[in-house]
Amino acid sequence: MCSATWPLCCSNMLPLRGEQQVTGSTPGYGTADTDMYFDANGNSKALSKGQDGIKRSGKVNLLLDRNGNIMLCVDNLLNGFPCMVVVFGCVVCLLMIVLPKSLSVVLTIVYVAFILHETLMFRESGDARTNFVLFSYAGKFLKEQSVRVGVINNIWLFIPLGTGLYRWFQKKWALLFPFGMSVAIETTQYITGLGIAEFDDVFGNTMGGWIGILVAYIKMMWHSETVSRPQRHSIR
């Protein structure tokens, strides 16, 4: 049995790319089971994000260090606590709106880098895969938590981007940027084998970007009307 507290167990060795191998795990405690990664010599092997294994807890995958402990990282925070995606998105959107424009632009650039990090960097490459069926997860959305989390994450990932873009440019063509960036990411994932190129991802990302733009537009229009509204002075 593989568990989070047993870093080496050698049942059901399954080959990965190159000399890497992974232990096929058996169910651990409760609803969780664990896989730990090893090279051909049986030594612990860290993968692209520094994880030496994964722990499946219900429908959520958590990254583990070489000692089988859950890593302190953004992926585990967002996957283990889906509500944090909403909190994180709201905080970033708020900062992009209230910060001076120069700082908002910097934050937007940093956030673009964050999106690229989460979607393209430090992923294991594999065979090119596609899913060109729009709303392919509709039947599973209400039944499976992992599907709901994935759909919501795809939308929320681009909401702060839309907010920052509109604060930066305030042009209608900003509506095209989330769509173009999402298409570029999915195309790169297909070419490099870093993920599944899906229409659902493009749709969710684009909707998220447009929601963010709408949020920024409403906030800026409200602020403009407030500033231009004549001040009333009471007569004493």
Mean pLDDT by 10 residues, the chain (236 residues): 33 38 41 73 75 75 82 75 82 93 95 90 67 83 80 91 92 92 93 86 95 92 71 49
The per-residue pLDDT for 228 is 65
The per-residue pLDDT for 85 is 80
Instruction: Give every CB contact of residue 180 below 8 A, 6+ residues apart in sequence.
Output: none
Give the full edge-to-edge strand order of the sheet including 32-38: 13-15, 21-23, 32-38, 53-57, 60-64
What is the pTM assigned to this prediction? 0.69
Question: What are the boundaries of each domain within the chain?
Answer: 13-71, 82-228
The per-residue pLDDT for 13 is 33
The per-residue pLDDT for 124 is 60
Alpha carbon distance 64, 146 (integer Å): 19
The per-residue pLDDT for 202 is 95
Instruction: Give every CB contact of residue 183 below 8 A, 6+ residues apart in sequence.
Output: 202
Q: Report whether 152 contacts 85 (CB < 8 A).
A: yes
H or E, element range at 22: strand 21-23
Alpha carbon distance 37, 161 (integer Å): 35
- Count Cβ atoms below 10 Å from residue 121 Cβ, excluding itself: 11
Q: Report whether 135 contacts 65 (CB < 8 A).
A: no
The per-residue pLDDT for 229 is 64
Alpha carbon distance 20, 7 (integer Å): 16
Nearest-5° Cα angle at 70, 68 to 76: 145
Residue 97 carries which side chain, given as an amino acid letter? I
Alpha carbon distance 190, 127 (integer Å): 8
